[in-house]
Amino acid sequence: MKILGVTFTSSLSVTLHVQIVIAACARTLYALRVLRKHGLCNDSLHDIFSAVAVAKLMYASNATYRRSLLLFVAAFALVSALQI
């Protein structure tokens, strides 16, 4: 069941939603790799990552977890930037 863009299971778990968001972020990261190979500068790649992947990760996240989520996103962006 999907409510306001968040996927819930019959037991009201959001595990499936998290898996869907992670898969979407992986596709975004792949697209960023392709864009980088086509010559897009790092500043633009960072802007796209922030606009797309961070927005997906932050949507419907609990306010108490936002700080740790932001730290995770920053670490993910750093590692991704090194691997792109």
What are the pLDDT digits (tens) for 53-77?
A: 878 777 766 654 565 666 667 666 6
> Tokens for 30?
């792949």
**Cβ partners under 8 Å of residue 78, min gap 6:** none
pTM of the model: 0.62
Q: How many domains does the chain have?
A: 1
Q: How far apart are CA 33 and CA 39, in angstroms?
A: 10
Average pLDDT, the chain: 75
Longest dimension (CA), the chain: 46
User: What average pLDDT score do residues 34-58 get?
Assistant: 86
**Residue with structure tokens 């962006």?**
77
Q: Which of 6-10, 39-43, 49-53 has the lowest mean pLDDT?
A: 6-10
Full residue range of the structural domain in which residue 47 is found: 2-83
pLDDT > 70: percent of the chain: 57
User: What average pLDDT score do residues 16-24 get?
Assistant: 78
Task: Name the region of 79 (left: φ>0; alpha: ψ -120 to 50; beta: rest).
Answer: alpha
Residues 73, 52: contact at Cβ < 8 Å? no
Q: Are strands 2-3 and 6-7 parallel, antiparallel or unpaired?
A: antiparallel
